[in-house]
Structure 1
Amino acid sequence: MGFKKVGAVGYCWGGWAAFQLGGKGKNLVDAISVAHPTFLTKEEIDDVAVPVQILAPETDPRFTPELKEHANRVIPTLGVEYDYQYFPGLAHGFSCRADENDEKEKRGLERAKNAVSGWFGQMLQGR
């Protein structure tokens, strides 16, 4: 199809996998987007080498406040594009298991979908 760039998106444990694909020396993807990542470590955050977007809910026992703070402190120093979006009032799983009858969850789900689409539209320009 002629594509020259590829991105990876990961939700929950898929967020960990996306960071693996975007790690230093891997050269497997050109950009990643993750929402409420699970199993992610500080070392994996330190190792990211491609543009990264993180969609983070307020309440998340897996992507803890400590990991959020670490990502926001370290990633901007790595020389890669970085987009961190915070979703107040939402919890782990909001971007893939939202209750569409709950207006706040529905808005968060839509915002996350639009954020990912926009991110890859910017980061994967040019085929």
Structure 2
Amino acid sequence: MESCCLKGFRWNSTPTGQETELAGLKCYRTGSDPKVAIMLIHDLYGWTFINTRLLADHLADEVGATVYVPDCFGGEQLPLEILLDQSQWNKLDLPGFMTRNSKAIREPEIFNFARALRSDHGFSSIGAIGFCFGGWASFRLGAKEVKLVDCISMAHPSLLEKREISEVAVPVQIMAPEHDSQFTEELKAFSNELIPTLGVAYDYQYFPGLTHGFATRGNPNDESEMQGMERAKNSAVMWFRQWLL
């Protein structure tokens, strides 16, 4: 993970959902549909980040789903003041944070959470959307030997490996900014060459001029970033309406 995963803006609004717990994880829940659920797997700013919760509210309202944002960092949170003050980034032990929240540690919890959506709440259709850190997890939830969700979406994924891309077995949507040191040109090309050969529906959305983090931490006062955020949200809404309803 790099500094691009920390840059961004905090949006000003009030989330409408509530905090609860499922499968041993604290989570934010919004919406009330009894059949359709979406897991939103957060970026480095975690499950309490207001932007993430506002996105969850939009998905719940516009898809017609119950959206869950589980805590994938074991209760640990990055200090939000870093978001607007790059001079404090040297105070952050990002390597240590990522070691404590590695794939090997968090994947079983994410899988259990997805299982609980069906077993504990009886959702018949489940989607997953991941931003930054959550991108790899979305792919894993839709892998052929796992298939805990019915479709996946992600924007500017981080920590993603070619193996994870090659194993996807559900409809997949990728929203990729032009400038992204995490979802590199090599990974973009690999995705666009391989996924169409896997027999799954594939939607690749390209966002020229935008950078990593735009879909969750874009500047609402920048017209191009605002348009990109809105387009990404609308694309995800249409994707989930296509494959979950």
TM-score (norm 1): 0.96
Secondary structure class of the residue paired with 1:44: helix
Partner in structure 2 of residue 117 of structure 1: 237
Where structure 1 has 5 or more consecutive residues not aligned to the other structure, the ranges are: none
| Aligned-partner Cα distance in 1 for 2:203–2:219 | 25
Report the Cα offset of residue 85 of structure 1: 0.4
Secondary structure class of the residue paired with 1:72: helix
| Aligned-partner Cα distance in 2 for 1:27–1:45 | 14
Partner in structure 1 of residue 196 of structure 2: 76
Report the Cα offset of residue 5 of structure 1: 1.0
Report the Cα offset of residue 26 of structure 1: 0.6
The answer as to 2:134 corresponding to 1:9 is no
| Aligned-partner Cα distance in 2 for 1:27–1:14 | 16
The answer as to 2:206 corresponding to 1:108 is no
Partner in structure 2 of residue 42 of structure 1: 162
Q: Which has the larger radius of gyration?
A: 2
Secondary structure class of the residue paired with 2:230: helix
| Aligned-partner Cα distance in 2 for 1:19–1:4 | 20
Report the Cα offset of residue 27 of structure 1: 2.3
Secondary structure class of the residue paired with 1:101: coil
Name the Cα RMSD after superposition.
0.7
Identity across the alignment (%): 60
| Aligned-partner Cα distance in 2 for 1:123–1:71 | 20
Deviates more, 1:59-68 or 1:1-10: 1-10
Report the Cα offset of residue 17 of structure 1: 0.7
The answer as to 2:194 corresponding to 1:88 is no
Aligned residues: 125
Secondary structure class of the residue paired with 2:215: coil
TM-score (norm 2): 0.50
The answer as to 2:187 corresponding to 1:67 is yes
Letter paired with 1:5? S
Runs of 4+ in 1 over 6 A off after TM superposition: none
Letter paired with 1:101? N
Where structure 2 has 5 or more consecutive residues not aligned to the other structure, the ranges are: 1-33, 36-122
